[in-house]
Structure 1
Amino acid sequence: MIWLYLLLALVAMVVAMKTTSVLLMVVCLLAALVFLVLWAYGWYASRVGSVSRDASLMLDPDELRRLREQAEARKLASQSPPEPPAA
């Protein structure tokens, strides 16, 4: 769909270049500008939309707190000195 805006912008530009009417040229140039902006906006939106994260994968604060507590417990468990062997 966004490529249709670019095609319409090019067609409006060609009509503006070929016409002898000043009024038609101004209207076509404005239409070409509008279609070009719509194409750029659509292209940008599709690029950003394809890179954005899935909201379902984001962590809520409770889960984040639980993961931090687990990481801290693992860190403390790995730092405790080993017990001497029983003789």
Structure 2
Amino acid sequence: MAWMAWTWPTAAFFAVIASLLIVFTVLAVKFPETPRRGVLGIETTRGDRLFITLLGSAFLNLAWLGFEVAPQPYALLACLVYAAAVFRFV
């Protein structure tokens, strides 16, 4: 990791993202699903909902930093609630 000057939290972040992609790929192969229509009115699959969750979590964290709502680790809790809502209702 020294050649890229990464910190451990950055490496852990990308490792988690890579793990999620691998897990969702295995799930898609073992348990194929049909798209479902949620509150957005568009058909989404697990992968679509994961993408929406990751994108929304990035914006949530940026807003959390910008508005200085509370210490940043609390944003993780907000992101988990957001992710649960996306996977349930979208």
Q: Report the TM range for the smaller structure's normalisation.
A: 0.3 to 0.5
Bigger-Rg structure (1/2): 1
Instruction: Judging by fraction of residues, say which structure has more strand.
Output: 2
TM-score by length of 1: 0.35
Instruction: Judging by fraction of residues, say which structure has more helix.
Output: 1
TM-score by length of 2: 0.34
